Chain A
Amino acid sequence: MTDGWFAGVESGDEAAAAERIRTGRADGPEAWPQQAVDAGFASDEDDYYDQLHAATMTATRAAVAERETADDKQLVHAIRAMADCERTANELAERVAEWAGSRYGESGSGVDFARDVVEREPVDEGDVALQSLAERTVAVADEADDLRTYIEQTAPAVAPNLSALAGPVLAARLVSLAGGLESLAKQPSGTVQVLGAEDALFAHLRGGAPSPKHGIIFTHEYVSGTRPEERGSAARALAGKLSIAARVDHYSGDLRPDLEAELDERIERIRTRGGDGE
Chain B
Amino acid sequence: MSLPDGVSRHDFDGTTSIATRGHPEYGERTDGEWRRWDPHRSKLGAMLELGMETGLTADQTTLYLGAAAGTTVSHVADFGGPTYAVEFAPRPTRDLLDVAERRSNLFPLLKDARKPETYAHVVEPVDVLVQDVATRGQGRVATLNRQFLADDGYLLAAIKARSEDVTADPEDVFDEVLADIDAAYDVVATERLTPYHDDHLGVVARPER
User: Do the two chains belong together in a single complex?
Assistant: yes
Residues of A that sit less than 8 Å from B by CB: 3-5, 20-21, 24-33, 49-50, 52-53, 56-57, 59-61, 63-64, 67-68, 71, 157, 252-253
Across the interface, do A26 and B121 meet the contact criterion of CB distance under 8 Å?
Answer: yes
Q: Quick check: B97 and A21 within 8 Å, CB to CB?
A: no
Additional A-B contact list (8), CB under 8 Å, known A5-B122, A59-B110? A4-B121, A21-B122, A25-B117, A27-B117, A29-B148, A32-B123, A56-B107, A60-B110
A16 to B110, CA, bound (A): 17
- Of the residues A25, A56, A57, contact of B120 by C-beta under 8 Å: A25
Contact check: which of B100, B106, B110, B123 meets A29 at CB < 8 Å?
A: B123
Stretch of B23-31, B42-50, B88-96, B163-171 on the interface side: B88-96
CB atoms of B97 and A57 under 8 A apart:
yes
Interface centre among B110, B118, B126 (most CB of A within 10 A): B110
The chain A residue sitting closest to B110, CB to CB, is A63
Using Cβ atoms and an 8 Å threshold, which residues of chain B touch A25? 117-118, 120-121
- CA gap between A27 and B123 in the complex, in Å: 11
* Complex partner residue of B104 from A29, A53, A64, A67, CB under 8 angstroms: A53
Which of A5, A49, A253 lies in contact with B94, CB distance below 8 A? A253
In the A-B complex, the 4 residue pairs with the smallest Cβ-Cβ separation, listed nearest first, are A26-B121, A26-B120, A24-B121, A67-B90
**Which residues of chain B have C-beta atoms less than 8 A from A31's C-beta?**
124-125
B147 at the A interface (CB under 8 A): yes
Are B91 and A253 neighbours in the complex by a CB distance under 8 Å? yes
Give min CB distance, A132 to chain B, whole Å. 42
Report which B residues bind A (CB closer than 8 A): 82, 90-91, 93-97, 100-101, 104-110, 116-118, 120-126, 147-148
| Residues from chain A with Cβ under 8 Å of B96 in the complex | 60
Count, A-B residue pairs, CB within 8 A: 85
Which of B118, B122, B125, B147 has a CB less than 8 Å from the CB of A56? Answer: B122
Residues of A within 8 A of B107 (CB): 52-53, 56
Contacts of A67 in B (CB 8 A): 90, 110
Which residues of the other chain, B, contact A52 by a CB distance below 8 angstroms?
Answer: 107, 122
Question: Which of B101, B109, B125 is in CB contact (< 8 Å) with A21?
Answer: B109
CA–CA, A49 and B109, complex, Å: 14
- How many angstroms from the CA of A57 to the CA of B94 in the assembled complex? 10
The smallest C-beta distance from A135 to any residue of chain B, in angstroms, reads: 37
Asked if A50 and B125 sit within 8 Å, CB to CB, the answer is no
Q: Which residues of A contact B97 (CB under 8 A)?
A: 57, 60-61, 64
Complex contacts, A26 vs chain B, CB 8 Å = 117, 120-121
Determine the residue in chain B with the shortest Cβ distance to A2: B121
**With contact pairs A52-B107, A60-B108, A60-B110 given, residues A68 and B90 touching in the complex (Cβ less than 8 Å):** yes
For A31, the closest partner residue in chain B by CB is B124
Q: Which of B95, B104, B122 contacts A24 (CB 8 A)?
A: B122
